[in-house]
Structure 1
Amino acid sequence: MSGPPPAAVTVHAPLRRRVTVQGVVQGVGFRPYVHALATALDLSGNVTNTPEGVVVEVEGDPAAVARFCDRIAVDAPPLARVDSVHHQEVPATGDSAFTILASRADGPTRALIPPDTATCAACLGELADPRDRRHRHPFVTCTHCGPRFTIVTGLPYDRDQTTMAGFPMCAGCAREYTDPADRRFHAQPVACPDCGPRLALLVRRADEAGQPSPVTDGDPIAAARRLLAGGAVLAVKGLGGYHLACDATDPAAVERLRHRKARGDKPFAVMAASVEDIEPLVRLDPEERALLTATTRPIVLLRRRTDGPTVPGGLRPAEGVAPGSPDFGIMLPYTPVHHLLFGLPGDPEGPRLLVMTSGNLSGEPIVTDDAEALERLAHLADAWLTHDRPIHVPCDDSVVRVCDGRPLLVRRARGYAPLPLPLPLEVRPALAVGGDLKNAFCLGAGRRAWLSAHIGDMDDLATQRAFERAVAQLESITPVRPRLLAADRHPAYRSARWAVRNAAGRPVVRVQHHHAHVAAAMAEHGLDGSVPVLGVAFDGTG
């Protein structure tokens, strides 16, 4: 007897789509994520970085291709920010596997560089684990954390376009870098004690050349902790520049730093080892706690407690930290070096509160170059905790206050720069050069604006040079090619004179100082000028 005829099986021809993803999709583990997603859906093809963003081609069963296109933005890595996804059908090629291709450098720049982010929990676990090969490694990092903006020298974002280019990977790091199952798969700053940057400690003991002498015996971190405990002022090289650090509970050390830096009565920022250490000092709302512990790790302005500002164990910041201020500016550690300075479990007791202020004189740009740090900070620091990974982009700490339950950025820098801000209306490609005090400039085009990090006061020649470098650098990593410049109407402003000198035939629009403040506040709150606004600018001259 013959049975029923076999059921018909429909076989779909392979479908191939090219998918272009724009936003913060380079330097955040997006290509490894795409590789894993495509492999899980049994798709072939490839992914690559381009100046435009991430470009993917996937091929396979049409239903699987559709699922890939639906999920690519939804399940993106934690540090990614997908602004747009465009896909189009292209001819199938019969690929048998999914691969990560070398980056392409052709085409217009539309990719967004991610900001630097605080060390993640997984890397902190390795830092503290004596069994891990990155135990106490001051530069432990992975796809989900660490330096990004401050080490980028060009696009697309690859290791050879960062300041890690001078550190060839050892066999162990190369294995992790090429393993799709590893969280360091294509993590550009990946390194270990065998192949990564090195810490060094130099102390102000003049040798024959009159330069600080390196400490060659023992661990630089341990020696630095001893110096801090003894009241020294330490210059510490961070992600975007040098800090000046001292024990915030030592009145003599705080006063010494205040006098050397000519700080007047301006408050110092404080870095605390943990949230628990500051809870008895300040009133802490949930929104403020979330900001303190976020990957951005800004300085958060917090209200002092008036009901007994003491810390368990007698820890108490010196009065000179923030004399007369109702607030403390507090941040938590955001690099492995910071965590090591406070100490890991089992370390001798060390500092729990550190003054951590930018490495410069008031109004000057933050110091980033190592040789310059020895010269410009010579009269400020007793020792230098430095390393040999260059800082390409200066970036100070961000400062945030919570107002009506929402974060209000007082200074937008590390953790936020260089991500663009949305604008409420279209603007022509333009460069706004900013004011002369606490200068920051802005590039804008379409409905996006890229603010620079804090630059400094333009009265200083070093600040003017830093301004020029920062303008060139920000233009190199954004799609904005300014067709006009905007400058303050003040006839003596150096920023405005720079705009006139560098206009190169482009129009220079002069803007009244206080009008600019009000217009900026309108843009921040999404107002496009279609309704009347009464603006009050509390400011000095302009």
Structure 2
Amino acid sequence: MSTDVAGEEIEVSGIVQGVGFRPFVYRLARRLDLSGDVRNAGDRVVIRIAGPAAARDAFAAALVDEAPVLARVEQVTRRPAPVPEGAFRIMESGAGTVSVGVVPDVATCPACRAEIADPKARRFRYAFTNCTDCGPRFSIVTGLPYDRPATTMVGFALCPACRAEYEDPANRRFHAQPIACPDCGPRLWLEGDDAASADPIDRAAALLKTGHILAVKGIGGFHIACDATNADAVALLRARKQRPTKPLAVMADLATAHALCVITPEEEAALAHPSAPILLLPLKPGAALAPGIAPGQRHLGVMAPYTPLHHLLVATIGRPLVMTSGNRSSEPQIFRDEEACDRLAGIVDAFLMHDRPIARRLDDSVARHVAGRLRVMRRGRGFAPMPLTLPADFADAPPVLALGGELKSALCLTHGGKALLSHHIGDLDEPATGDAFESALADYTALFAHRPAVIAVDLHPDYRATRLGEDLAAAGGLPLERVQHHHAHMAAAMAEAGWRRADGPVVGIALDGLGLGDDGTVWGAEILVCDYCTSRRVARLSPIPLAGGDAASREPWRVLLAHLDRALGRAAVDGDPRLAALFAGKPLLTLRAMMDKGLNAPQASSAGRLFDAVAALLGLAPDRLSHEGEAAMALEALALEAAMENEAPPYPFALHADAIPIEIDPAHLFTALMADLHAARPRAAMAAAFHAGLAEAFVGAAAQVAAAEGLTAVALSGGVFQNARLLEETVRRLEARGLTPLVPAEVPANDGGLALGQAVVAAARRMG
């Protein structure tokens, strides 16, 4: 190999913004004695180097092998170029087409944690300490390329000491854009408390220890915090926030988390990951927590402190803290100071504030380790906007804007072979969330310079996201693709699994609450055969009428009545004293008349409503739910008390395969449940048998379809598959039959993943 000095230009694409990639390149070039420069250029890094061929080859290899921990190098392109002169240097960022090159916010690294705990350090107890390996990213970015002037740190001029660190290649803060210190950076204060204190952290901890409730400004918005061991404080928070039963997340250091929960090595790694999600963990019996934290649940949502402020607060109070979203019931999380002081004034006693602006709202992510993988349930801080790589034959796909559904809304932008699935925004039936969705849409399309060639929406004409997509398509003269709800769920699972268009169709099991079907009826428990362009329903749960329409989603006894009437007959239902007590005072005559006449009682095949009905029968559901999924979560928690191994046979479902779609009939399920209730069988065993029965029924039907169609892969998606017991039962039974499950992990199985599915369906249809 020649040792003659020559020049070349290297382009590196992938996740190379905000991860310390240019400082890494600088140190690498200096180590190999190469001259040249490096700069950001939109969504990639462009490097010019000069030196011997062997050194240049070693440099190119190290770009991949030694890349910063947060980087994701996807392509390195080398080409000959003129020899650059002078010592290697970092250049100002250049212009370029921006696509998906920003990393999420990153939890505090070990070096910064040690620094804030060191009394001799310049940043001792400084709540905004960060470096190139950690700190805020997406929550402070206002434009690309990622440089300090394009962040909310622009108003904080660097002091000489920070400037020296920023410019020192040997320093871990070399070109760290959010760099700050107590002399030049953001400051912290306590608002709404009259007691004088030199340290806001100390005073905030003192208030929390005495049962007060605080608003804490973080990096993606405000939290509401209280002492998680204080039953009175937790009860007061619930009363003020009007959140009677929904589980509350807890922030705790690792030692405290181990004292509260059973944690596997994989779960410990997830807690300590730079994404720092809320992780659902099994509670230990007798855990030292207020009983109102997660009533009726066997799991606790735990997150590690992920900013210096959180580390300091948790260490000072020495107890686990409730850290729930800073909002009023059903509203989006608050991230602006003025709004927090206005909207949270009746909920909190004081505000722990700082003056670093937040560019965009980012809820905490929620994840769970199930069926061998960490699975994201809510995609927010720490995960968004990390792009997803689409299957290989989507590389030439047109850019798509997909707007998702009505609940757990998120949007998706595609650019070539990448998909950018946004953070969780919320339920669009709440006006304030709808406004936040439109703001997020404007923010993402501007920040990532996205110009769609097609817009994708759900079939449902009344969804706010659908109407918005229709308006955008009309205004821009763009084609509009309408994608059936459950087809989108399946396509999202396929895309994440790397399933190519050329790989053909799969069998799909879609289990969720409700979604509009191709035939104009309500679907929610379906088996499909689908590729990216088309889908057809081949099996379904037998439908029942939802008496009162939307009211049936909030009052499980209505759905139970419909199932029992169908399974047992009305005379048997009315003659059973146990059921008479359950339905006492309910307007059964009116509801039955509505169901008979089809008045405000749409037929629906919903797995979510089936869970509600079984929970109501087992006495686990209130007459009216206080939050979505309340009954189903209680049923799962009960099922988890029974071991999966050596359990009694699953409850039976009948398969009526004499027509298409095949009917998966739960009538026998309710007959068996009633018999076990009369026999006083333990409710945990009944809940487990229900989960096993539902999994067996749908896997059995899917296996029949797969055999008939000559298929081997089965996609699983829909919000019901966030139930750990059901997912593990289903995966185990599919694998036992030699079928390959395609299960979401990075993409939520619930409606938070719909936009990705819509996007790939629209792209595939346009590609032909």
TM-score greater than 0.5 by the shorter chain: yes
Aligned to 1:475: 445
Which of 344, 369, 376 is the aligned partner of 1:409? 376
Aligned to 2:460: 490
Q: Residue 276 of structure 1 aligns to a residue in which SS?
A: helix
User: Is the deviation greater in 387-396 or in 261-270?
Assistant: 261-270
CA distance in 2, matches of 1:375, 1:73: 49
CA distance in 2, matches of 1:23, 1:526: 17
Aligned to 1:309: 286
Aligned to 2:329: 362
Aligned-partner residue type, residue 92 of structure 2:
A
User: Is the deviation greater in 263-272 or in 464-473?
Assistant: 464-473
Aligned to 1:517: 489
1:428 matched to 2:398? The reply is yes
1:284 matched to 2:263? The reply is yes
**Conservation of the 8 A alpha-carbon contact between 2:387 and 2:421:** yes
Which of 91, 106, 117 is the aligned partner of 1:101? 91
TM-score when normalising by structure 2: 0.64
Deviations 1:450-485 (A, max 9, x none): 111111121233222221221122223436421221
Distance 1:461 1:11, change over 3 A: closer
Aligned-partner residue type, residue 179 of structure 1:
D
Aligned-partner residue type, residue 390 of structure 2:
L
Distance 1:278 1:91, change over 3 A: closer
**Conservation of the 8 A alpha-carbon contact between 1:242 and 1:359:** yes
The higher radius of gyration belongs to 2
TM-score when normalising by structure 1: 0.90
CA distance in 2, matches of 1:522, 1:13: 49
Aligned to 1:535: 509
CA distance in 2, matches of 1:214, 1:474: 41
CA distance in 2, matches of 1:215, 1:494: 47
Aligned-partner residue type, residue 509 of structure 2:
G
Aligned to 1:249: 229
Correspondence list, 1:144-163, <5 A = 144-163=133-152
Aligned to 2:314: 342
CA distance in 2, matches of 1:191, 1:84: 33
Which of 120, 129, 138 is the aligned partner of 1:140? 129
Aligned to 1:6: none
CA distance in 1, matches of 2:238, 2:318: 19
Residue 361 (structure 1) shift = 2.3
Deviations 1:290-323 (A, max 9, x none): 1011111111111223xx323xxxxx11111000
User: Is the deviation greater in 454-463 or in 55-64?
Assistant: 454-463
Q: Residue 160 of structure 1 aligns to a residue in which SS?
A: helix
CA distance in 2, matches of 1:84, 1:492: 42
Aligned to 1:209: none
1:229 matched to 2:209? The reply is yes
Give the number of equivalent residue pairs. 509
Q: Residue 283 of structure 1 aligns to a residue in which SS?
A: coil
Distance 1:319 1:440, change over 3 A: same
1:188 matched to 2:177? The reply is yes
Unaligned runs of 5+ in 2: 517-768
Correspondence list, 1:312-327, <5 A = 316-327=288-299
Q: Residue 493 of structure 2 aligns to a residue in which SS?
A: helix
Q: Which of the pair is proportionally richer in helix?
A: 2
Distance 1:214 1:485, change over 3 A: farther
RMSD value over aligned CA atoms? 1.8
Aligned to 1:121: 110
**Conservation of the 8 A alpha-carbon contact between 1:244 and 1:358:** yes
Deviations 1:260-319 (A, max 9, x none): 2222311011111x22212243221221111011111111111223xx323xxxxx1111
Q: Residue 510 of structure 2 aligns to a residue in which SS?
A: coil
CA distance in 1, matches of 2:196, 2:92: 41
CA distance in 2, matches of 1:160, 1:465: 28
Q: Residue 540 of structure 1 aligns to a residue in which SS?
A: strand
Aligned-partner residue type, residue 514 of structure 1:
H
CA distance in 2, matches of 1:362, 1:132: 42
Q: Residue 502 of structure 1 aligns to a residue in which SS?
A: helix
Which of 451, 456, 481 is the aligned partner of 2:426? 456
Deviations 1:98-131 (A, max 9, x none): 1111111x22114611111110111111101111
Q: Residue 150 of structure 1 aligns to a residue in which SS?
A: coil
Q: Residue 435 of structure 2 aligns to a residue in which SS?
A: helix
**Conservation of the 8 A alpha-carbon contact between 1:200 and 1:214:** no
Deviations 1:197-251 (A, max 9, x none): 0111111xxxxxxxxx676642111111011111111111111111111111111
Deviations 1:71-118 (A, max 9, x none): 12211111111111111101224x1311111111x2211461111111
Q: Residue 170 of structure 2 aligns to a residue in which SS?
A: coil
**Conservation of the 8 A alpha-carbon contact between 2:386 and 2:420:** yes
Deviations 1:407-434 (A, max 9, x none): 1110111111101112235243111111
CA distance in 1, matches of 2:194, 2:174: 35
Q: Residue 172 of structure 2 aligns to a residue in which SS?
A: coil
**Conservation of the 8 A alpha-carbon contact between 2:16 and 2:43:** no
Q: Determine what percentage of the aligned residue pairs are the same residue.
A: 50
Q: Residue 428 of structure 1 aligns to a residue in which SS?
A: coil
CA distance in 1, matches of 2:102, 2:286: 41
**Conservation of the 8 A alpha-carbon contact between 1:29 and 1:143:** yes
CA distance in 2, matches of 1:516, 1:20: 35
**Conservation of the 8 A alpha-carbon contact between 1:247 and 1:254:** yes
CA distance in 2, matches of 1:29, 1:268: 35
CA distance in 2, matches of 1:183, 1:532: 48
CA distance in 1, matches of 2:3, 2:308: 52
**Conservation of the 8 A alpha-carbon contact between 1:150 and 1:239:** yes
Aligned to 2:273: 294
Aligned-partner residue type, residue 41 of structure 1:
L
Residue 11 (structure 1) shift = 9.0
User: Is the deviation greater in 468-477 or in 380-389?
Assistant: 468-477
